[in-house]
Amino acid sequence: MSIKDYRRQLEQQVAQEGARAAEPSGGPQADLPGGPGDAGQLRSLTTHPEASPELRAAALGRQVRQEDPGKAHAAPLERLADPHEAPSVRLAALGLLKLLAISSPTFPDWRPMFLEALRSALSEPTLRAAALEVLTHEGDRSTQEKLLAGLRDPAQALVPVDHALRLLSSDPHANVRDVARSVAGNPPNEAALLQALKILASDPESVGEFSSLLADSSKSIAVRKLAATALNNLAPELLPSAPDQRLKAVAANESALAVPDDESALAKHIGTLIRVGREPVHR
């Protein structure tokens, strides 16, 4: 067997196991047809108007397992794109399509329809978070702009601030720096502050702010550790190579008991950053 065939076989196994895992446990699936000759029954059950959404979601999962890998996406794609379908069925379809996006040999062919279906799913609150994850992972510009609009105007927000920032942080070209700065300056909560700082950790112009945060003992340890990591990323020479006496003592495992836990954790974090950064740079 060639490496390519072996890889395809593995991917199909993963997709099948994933489809099985996506089926609701217990109840409905016990009533499902499951034999190799039952594909037609499964297909009709998936859209049967009198079957419960749970049963139809389970049937969809089993149908995907039985279909040819190159065509298995068709039924879940149709379910996801249907705005009149029950949200739980659409969510199950979305989960199946995420798996098929990895394993389907025809994914490039149906990727445009998948993204289109996901964009239409954003209006459904039950689906929104899952759809946003995939769309931002795929670098969808229109989704990025919607998230940015929501950060600038809370009335347009699709998700909470920290969630939106986390989604946008995966693409340095999402143009989110200024919004992150604004959030960091007036954060609605600690989670939003941390997400904003993670974005600014790749912004060379934020070095001064990170130096200040690292030195500010009134800030939480999570914020100060993040500031240290950011400085190590942007201007490692500004990382305190000789922290104050208390930090040095902790780094040397001396008098550790006399140092507050937070300071101890921060000193260890900085010590790790410095140790890793000592790896020589070769020409």
Stretch that binds other proteins, among 55-63, 132-140, 158-166, 211-219 (CB under 8 A): 132-140
Q: According to CB under 8 A, which one of 96, 97, 127, 176 is a site residue for other proteins?
A: 176
- Cβ–Cβ contacts within 10 Å for residue 238, how many? 14
> Within positions 210 to 239, which residues make up the interface with other proteins, using CB under 8 A?
234, 236
Residues 6+ away with beta carbon under 8 Å from 238:
207, 211, 231
State in angstroms the smallest separation of the CB of 33 from other proteins. Answer: 27
> Within positions 142 to 161, which residues make up the interface with other proteins, using CB under 8 A?
142, 144-145
Q: According to CB under 8 A, which one of 54, 85, 162, 203 is a site residue for other proteins?
A: 203
One-letter-per-residue 3-state SS of 114-173: HHHHHHHHCCCHHHHHHHHHHHHHCCCHHHHHHHHHHHHCHHHCCCCHHHHHHHHCCCHH
State in angstroms the smallest separation of the CB of 156 from other proteins. Answer: 15
One-letter-per-residue 3-state SS of 32-84: CCCCHHHHHHHHHHHCCCCCCHHHHHHHHHHHHHHCCCCCCCHHHHHHHHCCC
Binding of other proteins by 47 (CB under 8 A): no
Binding of other proteins by 84 (CB under 8 A): no
The footprint of other proteins on this chain (CB under 8 A) covers a number of residues equal to 37
The torsion angle over the Cα atoms of residues 97, 173, 171 and 220, rounded to 10 degrees, is: -150
For residues 45 and 184, which CB has a smaller minimum distance to other proteins in the complex? 184
CA distance 270 to 265: 9
Binding of other proteins by 31 (CB under 8 A): no
CA distance 202 to 198: 8
Binding of other proteins by 182 (CB under 8 A): no
State in angstroms the smallest separation of the CB of 200 from other proteins. Answer: 10
Binding of other proteins by 141 (CB under 8 A): yes
For residue 117, what are its two tokens? 């279906």
Binding of other proteins by 108 (CB under 8 A): yes
Contact positions vs other proteins (CB under 8 A) = 70, 105-106, 108-113, 115-116, 119-120, 138-142, 144-145, 171-178, 202-205, 234, 236, 281-283
